[in-house]
Amino acid sequence: MSELNKEVLDLVWGRPSSGGVSASIFRRWTQGFVFSENEHTALEQFEGGPCAVIAPVQAFFLKNVLFNRESSNWRQMTEEEQKTELCSTLNEILESACASPTTGFCLVTWAKGQSPHASDMPAPESSQPPQEQQPNALAAKDLDFERFHSVLHKRTVMSVSELKEEVLSLYHAWRGCCGVLLFLYSVILTKGIENIRNEIQDTMEPLIDPVHGHGSQSLVNLLVTGHAVSNVWDGDRECSGMKLHGIHKQASVGFLTLMESLRYCKVGSFLKSPKFPIWILGSETHLSVFFTKDMCLVGPESPTEQARRVFQSFDPEDNGFIPESLLEDVMKALDLVSEPEYVNLVKSKLDPESLGIILLGPFLLEFFPDQDSGIPDSLPVYHYNGLKQSNHNERVEYVEGTALVLGFEDPMVRTDDTPVKRCLQTKWPYIELLWSTDRSPSLN
């Protein structure tokens, strides 16, 4: 690893001015992929920071458990099943990140005899951690930033079948001390440092923030889509002669962020409308996961949803209205009759007070009344937060709830106004949530 060390470290950790990565931030990232004792299909996060890797892995893990597995009880798993599903999930993310099959896949693991199980002393080559032993996130107390990077080994495999075998053989490494970092480095080297630099908007911004220890949007996008782009909109955009990269195809699992409800960004439909009904939810500081088993939430766009999306594309500031001068363009984009006389008639109907604006609600009611979204009146949903301290009684468990996804009518039920709901409203503006617990789940 020595010749790659500097490039990898600069990309992941930046060049901290104080001369090194803070010991407390590095320590927070030294955990492995550990399953909750209370929820067999949920990964636990011990401290803030590594959710940028753990939440995407959790989202893909849930996708595989909910939609690829035979068993009806998706919340129960034996240790052998956990091993199979976790390795299959890590494999899938590595395959997605691989820029070209000809370059192969990189796996970063401990150099022989250097695995930090039990103590910092080099272990005998044949030593395996006991099967029953629960890997401890902070086990290797003596393993600091420098020591960790001095005992890494990189191996390359050239085929998907070989990759599967290797990932499975490294199960204890993924679960043990620093497993999250070993996997992150494997993804980065599989993708290629140069490829990541070409996709990141600001190459000076490291993947892990050196002050707070949080993962960047580029890191989340790399794990979710295989591309380390910095933005969440669809496609590329030009800005002052600069090309800004976005998301280029529909993702398998989605991403929604509270930052959109605060108008800091707008997530495009490739992330908002994924192939499977699983969304990573972003707050200012943390990532959690919202999901359901009901595929209707990711069904094809209904005419009303298409109309809402097109209308909003002419309303980039999300005001809920457009200037009446744009009405003809919106109607054309939706293949509605757009003869000038008819457009003027619609204007007078939708703007009777001649305010010069067209509101979204009346526009949808005019052209798409009684449209059925295809979503049932209510459906069971779940929320996952891997941080122990963010869960009731510090037990990492899914919070169950019922979602009411309404049209644009005034809802009969008004539920909480929590960050989780505000985040989900960026996709379903009229969603209501009834949680089975006394308190709503936490985004942080």
So which residues are the catalytic ones? 51, 286
Secondary structure string (H, E, C) spanning the chain:
CHHHHHHHHHHHHCCCCCCCCCHHHHHHCCCCCEECCCCCCCEEECCCCCHHHHHHHHHHHHHHHHHCCCCCCCCCCCHHHHHHHHHHHHHHHHHHHCCCHHHCEEEEEECCCCCCCCCCCCCCCCCCCCCCCCCCCCCCCCCCHHHHHHCEEEEEECCHHHHHHHHHHCHHHHHCCCHHHHHHHHHHHHHCHHHHHHHCCCCCCCCECCCCCCECHHHHHHHHHCCCCCCCCECCEEECCEEECCECCCCCCEEEEHHHHCCCCCCCHHHHCCCCCEEEEECCCCEEEEECCCHHHHCCCCHHHHHHHHHHHCCCCCCCEEEHHHHHHHHHHCCCCCCHHHHHHHHHHHCCCCCCEEEHHHHHHHHCCCCCCCCCCCEEEEEECCEHHHCHHHCCCCEEEEEEECCCCCCCCCCCCCHHHHHHCCCCCCEEEEECCCCCCCCC
Q: Minimal CA–CA distance to 220: which of 424, 55, 412, 46?
A: 55
Give Rg (Cα) of the chain.
Answer: 24
Q: Minimal CA–CA distance to 48: which of 175, 174, 213, 178?
A: 213
CA atoms within 13 A on the CB side of 325: 1
Asked whether the beta carbons of 388 and 46 are under 8 A apart, the reply is yes
Question: Could you give the CA distance from residue 216 to residue 134 in angstroms, rounded to a whole number?
Answer: 29
Asked whether the beta carbons of 255 and 218 are under 8 A apart, the reply is no
Q: At what angle do helices 79-97 and 51-67 cross, to 10 degrees?
A: 110
